[in-house]
Amino acid sequence: MNLIRKITIVLTLIFLSAVSFAQSSAELKKQRERLDREISLLNESLKETSSSKALTLKQVNALNTQIQLRERKISTISSEVRLIERQIQDNTQEIKKLEEQLEKLKKDYASMIRFAFRNKNGYNKMMFIFASKDFNQAFKRVKYLQQFSESRKNQAKEIEETQGTIKRKIEELAAAKKEQSALLEVQQAERNKLNGQKSEKSKVVSSFASQEKQYKQEISKKQQESQRLARAIQAAIRREIEAERKRAEEEARLAAAKEAARAKAAGETPKPVETEKPAATAAPKTASGVLSATPEAAKLSNEFMGNRGKLPWPVAQGTITQGFGMHTYGKGVKMENNGVNIRTNSGAAVRAIFNGEVTSVVQMMGAGYAVIIRHGKYFSVYSNLRSVSVSRGTKVTVKQAIGTAATDPDEGTTEVHFELWEGSAPINPTPWLARF
């Protein structure tokens, strides 16, 4: 029974290991498929713009992003290969253990067969029983013979099941080795493509010297657009802060009037009601504090914050071609991004990332429209929209379409610029968004 228990434990461990491997393998495959989609999307946009003689910043960003995605895909494949190698090692060890236990089972079974052969004669069995000292011993000997027969059947069944398990593990081992070989081929192909893209990037970098003036002009134009958008966002936030302060003052005034009326009716001297001091003389209060001062705003802010890392993307499909922060192009050519640029499909719907209220719809010079949505103390900003379907004061829900992404008429690329602000300060939106 100890041996049978050991085999049961081994089989259970094999099952749990297989389940764990399946989950990890599925996650890695899903990640590789997502990277394939993003690379494919950038491939299409690069093909559309490759005929352009002048290299633009969008093309440079797309090429850089494609290289990064390719490197991440190679890294993902490496993780898959390592996982399969561990599975091969585990299966090899498990097969060895099972074969050792099978050999032990066969030896035990052979001993039982020899014993049964020696006592196959019914007369011998009867003599064994009748040779008992008393009825109790005779009963025990009958039970022993029954259990021995049953044990022999169980032992044969265990041998058969163990042989079946070994056969399945050998098949899994062969399949794993085949999958490993296929993945290594894919990885080598990706490395070859990566080397080609890095070579292309080297040519791009060398072209900066001759096109530096053009890039500086393009960056200057984009920075002006960024500054106009930042001013529009800040103006919208100031309006919201001022509205919140006025609301607080009005509530304090109404509370004072109510207290005065109550005191007058009761013949009492009204108690002074503390009102919020004007912004110029009051103790400094942060924009975030003012914007989440009401219970409703505080609740919405907390709900928004509770969804960090789970917020949907502003487009159903896309890839980030330029991240948050400062970016350098060549020597002395820099550009700061207050959000992220997301390459997407032509005509893609742009959607709200969370419940909120539209505070502004701004028409940008040469950059379509921008929509600003408030979520308590947080603001989400969607720009480079061709058209919008909301207006100031519109209540929106998560994933509700608010407009359509604009396509660059010269390059044929479609990018949405997305920003996230906490109070009056921009923050990196990437950690807040869910992974595709």
User: How long, in residues, is the chain?
Assistant: 436
Which pLDDT score is estimated for 12? 56
pLDDT higher than 60, residue 51: no
For residue 188, being part of any structural domain is answered with: yes
Name the β-bridge partners of 375.
378
Q: Output the pLDDT for position 166.
A: 78
Contact (Cβ atoms closer than 8 angstroms) between residue 350 and residue 405? yes
Q: How much of the chain, in percent, has pLDDT values that exceed 70?
A: 66
**What's the confidence (pLDDT) of residue 1?**
46
At residue 237, does pLDDT exceed 80?
yes
Q: Which of 230-239, 343-352, 420-429 is the least confident region? A: 230-239
Q: Are the C-beta atoms of residues 259 and 271 closer than 8 Å to each other?
A: yes
Number of domains, the chain: 1
Residues contacting residue 199 through CB under 8 Å, at least 6 positions apart: none
Quick check: is 48 in a domain?
A: yes
The secondary structure of the chain, three-state, reads CHHHHHHHHHHHHHHHHHHHHHHHHHHHHHHHHHHHHHHHHHHHHHHHHCCCCCCCHHHHHHHHHHHHHHHHHHHHHHHHHHHHHHHHHHHHHHHHHHHHHHHHHHHHHHHHHHHHHHCCCHHHHHHHHHCCCCHHHHHHHHHHHHHHHHHHHHHHHHHHHHHHHHHHHHHHHHHHHHHHHHHHHHHHHHHHHHHHHHHHHHHHHHHHHHHHHHHHHHHHHHHHHHHHHHHHHHHHHHHHHHHHHHHHHHHHHHHHHHHHHHHHHHCCCCCCCCCCCCCCCCCCCCHHHHHCCCHHHHHHHHHHHHCCCCECCCCCCEEEEECCEEEECCCCCEEEECEEEEEECCCCEEECCCCEEEEEEEECCCCCEEEEEEECCEEEEEEEEEEECCCCCCEECCCCEEEEECECCCCCCEEEEEEEEECCEEECCHHHECCC
Domain residues for the domain of 110 are 2-210
pLDDT of 373 strictly over 90: yes
pTM of this prediction?
0.58
Residue-wise pLDDT tens digits, 280-308 = 334 346 777 778 778 888 899 999 999 99
